[in-house]
Amino acid sequence: MRSVALICLCCGVGAAGAAERTPFQIRCEDTISKTISVLSTKTNGFTINNQLPYRALTLKTGSIDGRTETLGLTVTRAQYAATLGGPILQDKVSGYECVAPRVEVKLNYSPVLIYVGNEFVPGTCAYNTILQHEQRHLKAYMDNLARVEKVVRDALNRRFEGKPLYAPSGTAQSALQHEINSVWMRFISDEFDKGKAEQAKIDTPQEYARLADSCNGEIRDIVNRRRRR
């Protein structure tokens, strides 16, 4: 990942070796605080809703082909935001400034809502079996959140490396903000989306068959009775 406008003053040094640090670089690198990237996650728990029939849940998922019923559904969405700060030093001689970015990224999933079709009475084997299936989706979301946190933290640390960033005077903060918005927000979104693959692994034909056969066929019987209405 590359910044749009943030650069290093030592860029352009020939292959013979790196130039000695300028007084401005020394002042920036030795006197202002180093880059800090902080990520925090917060889980908001989950709520169970048993008010909608499975046909309404099926419509929510777009499964209207008559071949797949949605008996339970786990709903949430990724949430992420970044705040920026950090001290800035300017150098009138070179016309550049340096910033030690303080980047705080917050990652989360919105409160999880688990639906179980109202055909299935709480406490019954059928209800508990469907709920357990949906809780596997919940765990997959939380596992993905932990994975995204690590990936993003590592990537931020590699990008900024605890060193100040340099840019023409008056542009460092806006350039950093542009990088966060145009590069890092997309990066985080893409990482969250990778969790969809794990969600899909839970909803397999084999799993649907297992659910239908569980509880001595109770789930299949309930669905078949509703189909005839």
| Interstrand relation of 112-116 and 72-75 (parallel, antiparallel or unpaired) | antiparallel
pLDDT at 65: 55
> Residue 174 corresponds to which amino acid?
S
Domain assignment present for 18: no
Domain assignment present for 7: no
For 172, the token pair is: 């460092």
Domain assignment present for 2: no
Find the domain containing 162 and state its range: 23-227
Which burial class, exposed, middle or buried, applies to 81 when counting CB atoms under 10 A from its CB (0-12, 13-18, 19+)? exposed
Q: What would the pLDDT profile of 94-106 be if each residue is shown by its tens digit?
A: 999 999 888 899 9
Structurally, the chain folds into a number of domains equal to: 1
Domain assignment present for 171: yes
Q: What would the pLDDT profile of 168-203 be if each residue is shown by its tens digit?
A: 999 999 999 999 999 999 999 999 999 999 999 999
Domain assignment present for 175: yes
Domain assignment present for 8: no
Domain assignment present for 6: no
Quickly tell me which residue has 């169970």 as its tokens.
48
Domain assignment present for 3: no
Nearest to 179 by CA among 37, 40, 25, 77: 37
Q: What would the pLDDT profile of 118-173 be if each residue is shown by its tens digit?
A: 999 999 999 999 999 999 999 999 999 999 999 999 999 888 877 888 999 999 99
